[in-house]
Structure 1
Amino acid sequence: MTDAPVRIAEADEDRAVLAFSGDLDAPALRVLEESLLDPRLRRPKAWILDMSGLDHIDLACAYALLRTVTGTPEPVALTVRGARPAVHRTLRQAGLDTVAAFTA
């Protein structure tokens, strides 16, 4: 894969959109964690995780998303958009459904 599995598609004061693609699994975990530390994600009060291009996510990556969102000093409104059924299932198993709204 030539593209990173996650990229910040846009970020401003109000919201950040993270676009996911391909597979998020153990080899991609470090890239994900580094992306989630990007300073552009500190200001927005809402994150949209566009997972329409994501084929697979493993539990370690799903937990990394959950840790990041629940560990922010200020609450972040989280929306997961376009997750395929298998991705949605893994995110639910990690508990992300307790802190995120899911949309088609």
Structure 2
Amino acid sequence: MTVDPHHPGQATPVRISEADEEHAVLAFSGDLDAHALRVLEELLLDPRLRRPGAWTLEMSGLDHLDLACAYALLRAVSRVPEPAAVTVHGAHPAVHRTLRHAGLETVATFTR
């Protein structure tokens, strides 16, 4: 379990579960809301996310996604020097809808 450094005792709703030169997997769980935005933005600046040519956003464990967090994901994907191929996997309908409202469907592929 990864602990949220801004809220000790609480698990962070997002973590890098794997990252190498070719592929990075970000695993999401619980609620990703305004309280977690700073943690998400800090994680998205991790140097391990600049190298891979592909990202998988594993969202099957994510129950709620705040629109501000969805925009943070879009900004992160958009600023990678060479655009990464992004796959969103397992997003529940409400999470998928929030990602669509933020415009992530223009840069990502969605899979079940």
Length-normalised TM-score, structure 2:
0.90
CA RMSD between the two structures: 0.9
1:22 paired residue number = 30
Equivalent residues in 2 for 1:3-82, closer than 5 Å: 3-82=11-90
Tell whether 2:92 aligns with 1:84: yes
**2:53 aligned partner, one-letter code:** K
Distance 2:25 2:47 in 1: 14
1:95 paired residue number = 103
Count of residues in correspondence between the two structures = 104
Unaligned runs of 5+ in 2: 1-8
The structure having more radius of gyration, on CA atoms, is 2
- How many angstroms does 1:23 deviate by? 0.6
- How many angstroms does 1:2 deviate by? 2.7
CA deviation string 1:56-94 (max 9, x = no partner):
001100000001101111111000000000000000000
SS in 2 for 1:92: helix
Distance 1:21 1:2 in 2: 12
Distance 2:109 2:71 in 1: 16
- How many angstroms does 1:15 deviate by? 0.2
Counterpart contact for 2:50–2:81, Cα < 8 Å = no
- How many angstroms does 1:95 deviate by? 0.3
**2:51 aligned partner, one-letter code:** R
